[in-house]
Structure 1
Amino acid sequence: MTKRKTLTQFLVEQQRLEKAMPAQLRLLIEVVARACKVIGHTVNKGAISGVLGSLDQENVQGEVQKKLDVISNDILLEANEWGGHLAAMASEEMDTLHPIPNRLPKGEYLLVYDPIDGSSNIDVNGIVGTIFSVLKAPPGTEGRDVTEADFLQPGREQVAAGYAIYGPQTVLVLTVGTGVYAFSLDREMGSWVLTSEKLTIPARTDEFAVNMANERHWNEPTRRYIGELMAGTDGPRGRDFNMRWMGSMVGDVHRILTKGGVFLYPADTRPGKENGKLRLMYEGNPIAFLIEQAGGKAFNGTCRILDIEPQELHQRVPIILGSSEEVDRLDEMLKDRVAA
């Protein structure tokens, strides 16, 4: 029997052989991965452990918080505070950054995360996940408190990104800039085991993921693009497309990374949605890093997502990503609108 490679073995090889990371980053990723195992276990217990349902409070996004949002956020905070790898953390569920307490050792990295992506799926046993991004703290932060401005780096500066998806299998998908790798959780052994290497998104696809309920709010090129896909063999594309929508970004992106496809959450005309719904720092940047590492493309309707200069921690961004042929086609349609 071929011995499978664990996450720890993979990270050690990336550190020693690929020279892709220093030891401190390797240890940080292992801590995040352990926290994701705990979150996955909590998700799996569901109603048994009383984690379903909502709280009588909203997060900084103005969204009603689920119990699991807060529990998962606390799990990641507690796991990463004491390790000595971080200078600070920021979460979609917190108003501002979370500094490492002065009584604890500090490191040179910043962790940004969405503790539970797809919260609306929790109570119906749908797909949810955890998304994370790692940045290097700017020079000079060693002798002072970290500020929000230190987090506001374009996505191309990420040194690692990934997500854990809690479905029929619990899977960790990771990049440290050397491709995209997937690790499945072996519950009997309690370890992450490498199950997919160098994931690659095919340039051509016949699948798309979008919330069609918002169609009436999109701009004309986006409506026209989706109309072409919906028209199938009778339309200008001359072939049929399948639509998928899981209600969680990690679910739809995981399908794209394994089978190809294009994912859209565009801006629309509703108040507060002019810049889209998804967050740049917690969702857009880490997922765009993964998509590009797998050979796909990710843009916001005007530029590459990883080139956006963030203005605030909770900034929203339109997102179109996945198979390059489809991303390029919509890009051209949007450029034609601007040129006109």
Structure 2
Amino acid sequence: MNTKTAQELALPVGVTLDRFIMHSQSAFPYATGELSQLLRDIALAGKIINREINRAGLVDIAGGNGTENVQGENQQKLDIVANIRFIRALKNGGEVCAILSEEDEDIIHTGNNHGKYVVAMDPPDGSSNIDVNVSIGTIFSIYRRITPINEPATMADFLQGGRKQVAAGYILYGSSTMLVYSTGDGVNGFTFDHSLGEFILSHKNICSPVRGSIYSVNEGHYNSYPDFVKTYITKCKAMNFSARYIGSLVGDFHRNLLKGGIYLYPSTKKDPKGKLRLLYECYPLAFIAEKSGGKATDGFGSILDIIPDSFHQRSPVYIGSAEMVDEVV
């Protein structure tokens, strides 16, 4: 009979998200607890969306809803569900005075004018992939408001620019559900343990490889891409790089963040200003990329240095391993 020590019988579970946030709070620029609670609220909404996705085949939230969002894109049922879930969680949390969502044209006021933060988000990125069981995600960006406390938030609170983000991250709903975020001091990833109902620290201090052998781009639009992008794609093929593109921004970005690679979403003849939204797609992922040692550019300069002029502004993006981003532009 094999006997085991007490330690072997009860191995540590790991560091939970709550405990990690509590221990890291002293490193926050404004360590009074509000940002910590806001991150917990986002994690809670992520758990709820994870539940909805896991039973998507059993309840009627897969497929299109027959409506369009402010972008003129066909809404999936999950777009609506995720948007409601995140708005509700942020309102109930009480730390956010206003929200900007891909699914809504204008600012969503939470009624908590005393809240110190605003959140820009893409509640379900890649939601059309849910029908075929492909990874999708949520992307979020957090700013400390610049308008006076106890007054309604304004456009200025959201148009501060990418460098003013106090935190940003994403939730990936895939073979496992992961929350990856940064408050400016490194990037950490947490995997959801269904048995405990907790996010557990699984990827501490993520450092993106300076280069890799993966390129992610929709080559179906190759003929519409700028010449420098065509040249780079040809170079990738000549070097026998692996083409990996699933059409889910969070999924493609996450893979390249861990393994090394570059994600390209160039401008095209149809979309000369690019397709991805600056405030709640490009900014937060660029923040994660830079804090992990990578880079993000629109082809002319850092994504985070772009000064926005509208809520739903679009931009080309080239993001991933630092040396690969330098080479493409």
Instruction: Please tell me the TM-score bracket, short chain as reference.
Output: over 0.9
Residue 65 of structure 1 corresponds to which residue in structure 2? 75
Matched, 1:229 2:229: no
2:98 alignment partner, SS class: strand
Matched, 1:154 2:164: no
Match of 2:287 among 283, 286, 289: 289
Q: How does 1:250-329 map to 2 (within 5 A)?
A: 250-270=250-270, 273-329=271-327
Residue 64 of structure 2 corresponds to which residue in structure 1? 54
Q: Distance in 1 between matches of 2:29 and 2:259?
A: 27
Residue 245 of structure 1 corresponds to which residue in structure 2? 245
Question: Does the aligned pair in 1 maintain the 2:143–2:157 contact within 8 Å?
Answer: no
Q: What's the TM-score once normalised by structure 2's chain length?
A: 0.94
Match of 1:192 among 199, 202, 222: 199
Q: Distance in 2 between matches of 1:315 and 1:105?
A: 26
Question: Does the aligned pair in 1 maintain the 2:63–2:128 contact within 8 Å?
Answer: no
Equivalent pairs: percent with the same residue?
Answer: 40
| Per-residue Cα deviation, 1:207-265 (whole angstroms, up to 9, x for no partner) | 11000001010111111111111123xxxxxxx21110011110011101211100000
Residue 114 of structure 2 corresponds to which residue in structure 1? 106
Ranges in structure 1 where 5+ consecutive residues have no aligned partner: 233-239, 332-340
Q: Distance in 2 between matches of 1:201 and 1:81?
A: 34
Q: Distance in 2 between matches of 1:164 and 1:84?
A: 21
Match of 2:92 among 82, 85, 90: 82
Ranges in structure 2 where 5+ consecutive residues have no aligned partner: 1-10
Q: Distance in 2 between matches of 1:122 and 1:3?
A: 30
Residue 221 of structure 2 corresponds to which residue in structure 1? 214
Check 1:19–1:67 CA distance in 2 against 1; reply closer, same or farther (3 A cut). closer
1:201 to partner: Cα distance: 1.0
Question: Does the aligned pair in 2 maintain the 1:14–1:21 contact within 8 Å?
Answer: no
Q: Distance in 1 between matches of 2:320 and 2:168?
A: 17
Question: Does the aligned pair in 2 maintain the 1:20–1:177 contact within 8 Å?
Answer: no
Structure 1 residue runs of 4+, over 6 Å off? none
Q: Distance in 1 between matches of 2:190 and 2:28?
A: 21
Residue 335 of structure 1 corresponds to which residue in structure 2? none
| Structural RMSD (CA) | 1.2
Q: Distance in 2 between matches of 1:250 and 1:197?
A: 19
Which shows bigger deviation, 4-13 or 146-155?
Answer: 146-155
Equivalent AA in structure 1 for residue 237 of structure 2 = M
| Per-residue Cα deviation, 1:125-167 (whole angstroms, up to 9, x for no partner) | 11101111100100x4324321223211111110111111111
Question: Does the aligned pair in 2 maintain the 1:96–1:148 contact within 8 Å?
Answer: no
1:11 alignment partner, SS class: helix
1:2 to partner: Cα distance: 3.4
1:3 to partner: Cα distance: 4.2
